[in-house]
Chain A
């Protein structure tokens, strides 16, 4: 990425010329080899010829792999070469096995091991949702983690007490929870108060004006913040019914130059089965004028 002093390949901003289909190799940098498409050997058939003229990426030119992208394959391993089953690493794979980071060199439609949810992809609703799962009887992932603690209560699907979808997110002005950035006056003056973004439609329904104080509640807790009324927030229409959406940044807390309620008072202790990432992007809430 930095081959020489004052040469920063990540800072490149040269797009492919108009009309040329390429991999934009002169735009920025992709670690580790500036390759843009993983396993791109799969864009060619067993003999190394592109499957499609329109979507060709790399191919065998008789002596080596070449093409529009940096080949994700041993550069001179011929399409017909055999793998050595007793070898380790890439030497065990043949010239027609493009998925070089898989132990068997081929693509997998399902996950035989390693992940706790699988083997096939499926649709589940978030653990809290305004609707029941339209695809299966199984509402949400059967293997999600739910810590059974006092106060960690979940709202059932379509609970009329909590009719709105809520999302939490970050702002460029604050870092993570704001524990560091809420002490920096240059940052706090840019985003001085905790706010909750709502659509003009929901504001009208609730009789709210811009910057009015509102209270947002979930089965686990409630926070107070100022309404930021904006058309950037869109109500959803789900099965013919309007479901409002509420958004809030999560950077406030009880200490700092500027303080405010913490969005994480609202979220549930639930996690995905593999890495326990909690579900703070989609859950349900109620909202009232405070």
Chain B
């Protein structure tokens, strides 16, 4: 049985080269948006702006400078599907097209997907989008096809600074904790891991080393599953049904005990 595999993305060594974005697109044969013809976003060096059906890796650029520039940094972060241990997309998929693989990753099988798009809204990270070629929602597969033959995913292979690390989750966690310790020792007290422990959706199989609040990187501080609504909505539905039945009973009682229909009115 293969081990759970995933990514550890150390954002402190990302240089924003976007090699991961291009390597991902090349391996997975994802088209460019609008044939590659676009408009300058004006948002630092980020012109693709999001993860979606044709952008399975996305590098964010965050410029943090005080007005006098005494304090300044340019944060970069390569974002990807988190392959959550408790995955929202997998919960809501009505056809079973979204599966958990033997590597503990989450994969959408396009051939059994009916394109209902429920998974798009269910993902707390906004990772999934429709691929215009297939017409169905798609996202990172953690290069399932490459893993099957013992290769690392294309993005990790292309990353020149080892910001993207691929391997067994247990090894990655050890590496990540070591790196946080090293950074803290060097005085970077803001370093911490996002999604490395089980409190976040049972653990993210793609977790991150960040040096600012999750919101700064466009990540939810407390991502939640669609199933969190099941119990309260079941309760409210039951309660609603009970209230309606009681109202119905009273209504019919009232009709039976009243003066009856007025003469000459045909209902």
Q: Are A193 and B36 in contact (CB under 8 A)?
A: no
Q: Which of B18, B37, B45, B65 contacts A231 (CB 8 A)?
A: B65
Proximity bits, A154-184, B CB within 8 Å = 1, else 0: 0000000000000000011100000000001
B33 contacts partner chain A, Cβ-Cβ < 8 Å: yes
The proximity string for B residues 4-38 relative to A, scoring 1 for CB distances below 8 Å and 0 otherwise, is: 00000000000011110110011000011111111
**Cβ–Cβ contact A228 & B42, under 8 A:** yes
Give residues of chain A (224-253) contacting chain B, Cβ–Cβ below 8 Å: 226, 228-232, 234
B74 at the interface (CB under 8 A from A): yes
Do B69 and A189 have beta carbons less than 8 Å apart? no
Which chain B residues lie closer than 8 Å to A184 at the CB level? Answer: 36
Q: What residue in chain B is nearest A211 (Cβ atoms)?
A: B42
Given A231-B65, A232-B74, are A188 and B37 also a contact pair (CB < 8 Å)? Answer: yes
Q: Across the interface, name the chain A residue whose C-beta is closest to B182.
A: A18
Cα distance, A184 to B26, chains bound together (Å): 11
Q: Is B65 a contact of A257 with CB atoms below 8 Å? A: no
Say which residue of B32, B41, B47 sits within 8 Å of A186 (CB atoms). Answer: B32
- Is A198 on the interface with B (CB-CB < 8 A)? no
Q: Which residues of A sit under 8 angstroms from B32, Cβ to Cβ? A: 185-186, 188-189
A187 within 8 A of B: yes
What's the interface size class on A, roughly? Answer: 20 to 34
| Interface: A120 (CB within 8 A) | no
Report A41 CB to chain B, min CB distance, Å. 34
- A-side contacts of B33, CB under 8 Å: 189
Q: Is A93 an interface residue (CB 8 A)?
A: no
| Contact pick for A257, options B31, B37, B40, B45, CB 8 Å | B37
> Which chain A residues lie closer than 8 Å to B67 at the CB level?
231
> Known contacts A13-B162, A172-B17, A191-B47; is A186 also within 8 Å of B40 by CB?
no
Does B197 sit at the interface, judged by CB under 8 A?
no
Q: A236 CA to B70 CA in the complex, in Å?
A: 14
Query: Does B44 count as interface, using CB distance less than 8 angstroms?
Result: yes
Tell whether, in the assembled complex, residue B37 and residue A190 are in contact, meaning their CB atoms are under 8 Å apart.
Answer: no
List the B side residues contacting A171 at CB < 8 Å: 45
Check A234–B36 contact: CB distance below 8 A: no
A interface SS class: loop
Please report the C-alpha to C-alpha distance between residue A184 and residue B32 in the assembled complex, in whole angstroms: 9
Chain B residue nearest in CB terms to A13: B162
Q: Is A258 an interface residue (CB 8 A)?
A: yes
Within A67-89, the residues touching B (CB, 8 Å) are none
Q: What 0/1 pattern do residues 191 to 205 of A give for CB contact below 8 A with B?
A: 111010000000000
Point out the residue from B16, B42, B48, B72 that lies within 8 Å of A189, measured CB to CB.
Answer: B48
Which one of A172, A191, A231 lies within 8 Å of B72 (CB-CB)?
A: A231
Closest A residue by C-beta to B66: A231
The chain A residue sitting closest to B68, CB to CB, is A231
The interface residues of chain B lying within 8 Å CB-to-CB of A195 are: 40
Inter-chain CA distance A257–B22, complex, in Å, is 17
- With A231-B72, A232-B63 already in contact, the answer to whether A190 and B21 are too (CB < 8 A) is yes
Which residues of chain B from 28 to 87 have any CB-CB distance to chain A below 8 Å in the complex? 31-42, 44-45, 47-48, 63, 65, 67, 69, 72, 74
**A192 lies within 8 A of B65 (CB):** no
Give 6 nearest A-B pairs by CB, closest first: A185-B36, A185-B32, A231-B65, A192-B38, A188-B36, A211-B42
Q: 11 A-B Cβ contacts within 8 A?
A: A171-B45, A185-B32, A186-B22, A186-B36, A189-B32, A190-B48, A191-B45, A211-B41, A230-B63, A232-B72, A258-B37
A residues near B, CB below 8 A? 13, 171-173, 184-193, 195, 210-211, 226, 228-232, 234, 257-258
Other than the known A184-B36, A190-B22, A232-B65, what 19 A-B pairs have Cβ atoms closer than 8 Å? A186-B21, A186-B26, A186-B32, A188-B32, A189-B48, A190-B18, A190-B47, A191-B45, A192-B37, A193-B38, A193-B39, A193-B40, A195-B40, A211-B41, A228-B42, A230-B63, A232-B74, A257-B36, A258-B38
